[in-house]
Chains A and B, each alone.
Chain A
Amino acid sequence: DVKVTQSSRYLVKRTGEKVFLECVQDMDHENMFWYRQDPGLGLRLIYFSYDVKMKEKGDIPEGYSVSREKKERFSLILESASTNQTSMYLCASSYLKLDSPLHFGNGTRLTVT
């Protein structure tokens, strides 16, 4: 079974803090993704990566950055957390081929106060 592991299930941070969300997958997937999920807005893509050191902006990249130094690990960074970044963050991974589904981690519920 594919395992996508997110480092924290719940996280509480203060406004202005730098926040790191970590994600590790064990299936040698080329693609990795960060989504956020908010009530009424659904899942929205923040950033994705199809290879080590490669990154591409998704639909809502503002206020976020990412890092992929190793194939299995994809980090989401909030440079200066703000209250509007309070959300559920979901990491996902997939193979680089047609019909390859996304496999999601368990999510990190981030609260910024």
Chain B
Amino acid sequence: QKEVEQNSGPLSVPEGAIASLNCTYSDRGSQSFFWYRQYSGKSPELIMFIYSNGDKEDGRFTAQLNKASQYVSLLIRDSQPSDSATYLCAVDMYSGGGADGLTFGKGTHLIIQP
């Protein structure tokens, strides 16, 4: 049974602080990992993806991947109230390339307190 686990939250972080979102996955053969942001009533939008061990930075966002521990995280620096949303971790658990669809965690609800 393929699984992607996230803490549902809510995770409350003061404005300007670092928000840390975590995700674990069950299939050791997974190859691609994605973070999506979803505002209430809207569809998910891609923040970033990672497929190599280590860190990947894009602006205020850093994705971290540890395949040995089957763990992926997202750090948001200098958190802003506009970052308040649900963050979805998604994993490509099949052959790679997303051809078989992604498996999503249930999401972490992040609240940035002004």
Contacting pair B101 A97 (CB below 8 A) = no
Stretch at the interface among A64-72, A74-82, A101-109: A101-109
Residues of B within 8 Å of A44, CB to CB, are 104
The total of interchain contacts (Cβ-Cβ below 8 angstroms) comes to: 66
User: CB distance B32 to A99 under 8 Å?
Assistant: yes
CB of B25 closer than 8 Å to a CB of A:
no
Contact of A40 among B44, B45, B106 (CB under 8 A): B106
Interface of B is mostly: loop
Chain A residues whose C-beta falls within 8 Å of the C-beta of B17 in the assembled complex? none
Chain A residues whose C-beta falls within 8 Å of the C-beta of B51 in the assembled complex: 98-99
Let me know if A31 and B43 touch, CB within 8 A. Answer: no
**Do B34 and A97 touch across chains, with their CB atoms under 8 A apart?**
no
- Closest beta carbon of chain B to A4's beta carbon, Å: 9
Decide if B46 touches A100 in the complex (CB within 8 Å).
no
Are A96 and B106 also in contact (CB < 8 A) when A43-B88, A90-B43, A101-B49 are? no
Whether the Cβ atoms of A97 and B104 lie closer than 8 Å is no
In the bound complex, do residue A101 and residue B98 qualify as a contact, i.e. CB atoms below 8 Å apart? yes
Flag if B106 contacts A97 (CB, 8 Å): no
Task: Please determine whether A101 and B34 come into contact, CB atoms closer than 8 angstroms.
Answer: yes
In the complex, A97→B99 CA distance in Å? 7
A50 vs chain B, min Cβ distance (A): 5
Whole-angstrom CA separation of A48 from B90 in the bound complex: 16
**Which residues in chain A, 10-31, are within 8 Å of chain B measured between CB atoms?**
30-31
| Distance from B86 Cβ to chain A, minimum over Cβ atoms (Å) | 10
Query: Which residue on B lies nearest to A42, using beta carbons?
Result: B106
* 21 chain-A/chain-B pairs, Cβ below 8 angstroms: A33-B101, A35-B104, A42-B88, A42-B105, A42-B106, A43-B88, A43-B104, A44-B104, A45-B102, A45-B103, A90-B44, A98-B51, A98-B96, A99-B32, A100-B97, A100-B98, A101-B98, A102-B44, A102-B102, A104-B44, A107-B43
